[in-house]
Amino acid sequence: MISLIDVSKVYNQKDNSTFHAIDSVSLSINRGDIYGIIGRSGAGKSTLLRLINLLEIPSSGTVIVDGEDLTNLSKQKLRHARQSIGMIFQHFNLVSNKTVLENVLVPLELARYPKKERLDRVREVLRFVGLEDLMSKYPSQLSGGQKQRVAIARALANKPKILLCDEPTSALDPNTTKEILEVLQSIHKELDVTIVIVSHEMDLIKSICNRVTIIDNGQVYETVDIKPKGIVNSDHTPDWFLTQLTEERESDNA
């Protein structure tokens, strides 16, 4: 589904030296994968993800998505290809002056989706993420988890085959994280979407990914196949918080 072949991303720095944010990385992501990319801060995870839809133009190497060499496309063809690659971000990146409905409508407008069917499609994806009732709200009226679900709906509107996620839950609490992971999992199962997730949270990666690449210093450190452990129930009730806090105190006293 996705192949990166010997891809590098080099930045020119202020002192005229160069910095290899991504250094000759090759990897392939299969159709149906929930593929994790993990590594410490600054390792190059986000850069690697953004190379997949050419949000970063590779300095060298080839990016092939769904059989198409993106690095060789005209600007217009590249824009077209991007319409079938969904992407979500840590900070959601919704248009705050547009309602939920309008936000999800935009990608359909961009893809010249048949006018008469747009509204139905918006309803359908919003129902999928469980936000049909909030269509006329503005992002500032939503919780973080709801915002991310709008972003997911927006990314799904054009029925992409691939969903790229950059730290999709890093701005969210454990309960909301669980919600979002469940949405991602149902996208994978029900809509047959290949998912790539960048994260530094081990629990997240372990719970839903079937294949994981560890990135360090812009290079592939190791790629492993794992068996997803399932989403852990992290229902953080007030009682849970209380137990956590008091247990700590008791073990300190002991």
Ligand X SMILES: Nc1ncnc2c1ncn2[C@@H]1O[C@H](COP(=O)(O)OP(=O)(O)OP(=O)(O)O)[C@@H](O)[C@H]1O
Interface with ligand X (CB under 6 A): 11, 19, 21, 39, 41-47, 200
Q: How far apart are CA 168 and CA 89, in angstroms?
A: 6
Taking the complex as a whole, the smallest distance from the CB of residue 88 to another protein amounts, in Å, to 9
Torsion angles phi and psi, residue 106, rounded to 5: -50, -55
Query: How many other CB atoms are found less than 10 A from the CB of residue 152?
Result: 25
Q: How far apart are the first and last CA of the chain?
A: 55
Question: CA 236 → CA 56, 81, 99, 204, 239, distances in Å?
Answer: 38, 41, 30, 16, 8
Q: Report the partner that residue 43 touches, choosing among ligand X, Mg ion, another protein, none (CB closer than 5 to 8 A by kind).
A: ligand X
Q: Report the partner that residue 41 touches, choosing among another protein, Mg ion, ligand X, none (CB closer than 5 to 8 A by kind).
A: ligand X
Tell whether residue 178 is a contact of another protein (CB under 8 A).
Answer: no
Taking the complex as a whole, the smallest distance from the CB of residue 44 to ligand X amounts, in Å, to 4
Tell whether residue 82 is a contact of another protein (CB under 8 A).
Answer: yes
Residue 63 · residue 69 · CB < 8 Å? yes
Residues 6+ away with beta carbon under 8 Å from 133: none
The greatest distance separating any two alpha carbons of the chain, rounded to the nearest whole angstrom, comes to: 68
Tell whether residue 57 is a contact of another protein (CB under 8 A).
Answer: no
Taking the complex as a whole, the smallest distance from the CB of residue 200 to ligand X amounts, in Å, to 5
Q: Which stretch binds another protein (CB under 8 A): 19-27, 104-112, 186-194, 241-249?
A: 104-112
Residues 15-54 touching Mg ion, rule: CB under 5 A, are: 46
Q: Which stretch binds another protein (CB under 8 A): 18-26, 61-69, 90-98, 212-220?
A: 90-98
Torsion angles phi and psi, residue 98, rounded to 5: -115, 145
Which spans of this chain sit near another protein (rule: CB under 8 A)?
Answer: 53, 55, 78-83, 85, 87, 89, 91-98, 106-107, 109-111, 138-140, 151, 154, 164
